[in-house]
């Protein structure tokens, strides 16, 4: 018989008890995996700007508080539910924003589970990863390949996956040019992914320091995001595809001007403003504008396989779990260079 370490009945969890109020780390009952679920002991948990929106109540949970946020969790399976499945105790898995989805709608059956009308969002509509333990459904746990550190893997679960799926949607191929707007965590991942795919990368941001970082990560050109950025990109040959990760409306006109005919604009960052344009600006050059939210599981798998080669590195700020409030305050103040990851141990 195998000796198993007993899992405690309680766990520490970061509770959002009121919007816009400090998060409280408290002892709460540890969840128990049922049926097709696994219990995961979290090792590293990334903090995302979506957590800030939830914390502020701008993207309030559909459930009554308290809520455990966090949708970039990586840890090891410590217990398997009664129906068993492919996952074994000791395997390292990660969970992103899509906790689970209906599995039988058109989107779920055609690789679009992240667009399912009935999906559960980790740390929003179901308990998340700012806790010592979380329960996942077997089918939705992303197996982390050997060779990726848990703190490196955590931001891939949301930021990396969204950057990868956004890049694929540009349709940009080897030798073609992509302009990437916004050099935060997602932009930094997208630069590396696009370079690995053989694209020529133009990084765009308001900050010269962030452009320097983008170049260090492999970007071929850096363009300051001022009103003339689109024209500057045209002088560099224009773009076959643009991705926007900046949560501001100002990049929209820059992208329209940066695009070559029949280019694609992928919208991933969510500006608060309405975006205005004359229809002819999209019609005459035959542009395609497409939205992207999170990723599906296959895209996640591809990204993890790429990361396992060691060629995608996050710019990561590590903090102990106990500093979750400071981590959120730093994100709000724009003091974070890349992605924040909470160390759970």
Secondary structure letter of residue 197 according to DSSP: T
Distance CA 167, CA 162 (A): 9
Q: What is the closest distance, in whole angstroms, from the C-beta atom of residue 101 to Zn ion in the complex? A: 5
What backbone torsions phi and psi does residue 122 show, to the nearest 5 degrees? Answer: -60, 135
- Sign, CA dihedral 216-219-281-244, equals negative
Nearer to Zn ion, 50 or 166 (CB): 50
What backbone torsions phi and psi does residue 319 show, to the nearest 5 degrees? Answer: -140, 155
Q: What is the closest distance, in whole angstroms, from the C-beta atom of residue 75 to Zn ion in the complex? A: 17
Nearer to Zn ion, 50 or 292 (CB): 50
Nearer to Zn ion, 98 or 199 (CB): 98
What backbone torsions phi and psi does residue 149 show, to the nearest 5 degrees? Answer: -65, 140
Nearer to Zn ion, 165 or 263 (CB): 165
Q: What is the closest distance, in whole angstroms, from the C-beta atom of residue 136 to Zn ion in the complex? A: 16
Q: What is the closest distance, in whole angstroms, from the C-beta atom of residue 6 to Zn ion in the complex? A: 33
Nearer to Zn ion, 48 or 258 (CB): 48
Q: Which residues bind Zn ion (CB under 5 A)?
A: 48, 50, 101-102, 105, 108, 116, 158
Secondary structure letter of residue 272 according to DSSP: S
Nearer to Zn ion, 105 or 308 (CB): 105
Q: Reduced to 3 states, what is the DSSP secondary structure of residue 121?
A: strand
Enumerate the β-bridge partners of residue 27.
12
Angle at 140 between CA 138 and CA 142, to 5 degrees: 95
Q: What is the closest distance, in whole angstroms, from the C-beta atom of residue 1 to Zn ion in the complex? A: 41
Q: What is the closest distance, in whole angstroms, from the C-beta atom of residue 212 to Zn ion in the complex? A: 25
Q: How many C-beta atoms lie closer than 10 Å to residue 324's C-beta?
A: 23
Distance CA 235, CA 100 (A): 45
């Amino acid at each position: 018989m195998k000796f198993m370490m007993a899992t405690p009945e309680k766990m520490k969890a970061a509770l959002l008890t009121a919007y816009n109020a400090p998060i409280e780390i408290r002892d709460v009952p540890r969840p128990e995996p049922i049926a097709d679920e696994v219990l995961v002991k979290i090792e590293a948990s990334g903090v995302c700007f979506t957590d800030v929106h939830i914390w502020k109540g701008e993207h309030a949970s559909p459930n009554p508080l308290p809520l455990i946020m966090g949708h970039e969790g990586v840890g090891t399976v410590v217990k398997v539910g009664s129906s068993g499945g492919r996952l074994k105790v000791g395997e390292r898995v990660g969970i992103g924003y899509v906790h689970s989805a209906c599995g039988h709608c058109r989107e779920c059956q055609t690789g679009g589970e992240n667009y399912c009308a009935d999906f559960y969002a980790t740390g929003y509509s179901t308990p998340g990863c700012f806790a010592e333990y979380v329960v996942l459904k077997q089918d939705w746990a992303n197996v982390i390949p050997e060779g990726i550190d848990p703190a490196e893997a955590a931001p891939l679960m949301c930021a990396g996956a969204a950057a990868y799926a956004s890049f694929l949607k540009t349709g940009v191929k080897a030798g073609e040019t992509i302009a990437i707007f916004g050099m935060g965590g997602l932009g930094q991942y997208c630069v590396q992914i696009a370079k690995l795919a053989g694209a020529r990368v133009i990084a765009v941001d308001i900050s010269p320091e962030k452009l320097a970082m983008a170049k260090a990560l492999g970007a071929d050109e850096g363009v300051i995001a001022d009103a003339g950025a689109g024209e500057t990109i045209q002088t560099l040959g224009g773009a076959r595809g643009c991705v926007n990760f900046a949560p501001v409306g100002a990049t929209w006109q820059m992208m329209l001007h940066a695009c070559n005919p029949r280019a694609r604009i992928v919208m991933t960052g969510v500006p608060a403003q309405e975006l205005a344009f004359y229809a002819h600006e999209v019609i005459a050059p035959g542009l395609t504008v497409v939205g992207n939210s999170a990723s599906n599981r296959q895209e996640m798998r591809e990204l993890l396989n790429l990361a396992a080669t060691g060629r995608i590195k996050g710019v990561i700020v590590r903090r102990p779990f106990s500093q979750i409030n400071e981590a959120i305050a730093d994100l709000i103040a724009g003091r974070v260079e890349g992605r924040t990851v909470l160390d759970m141990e």
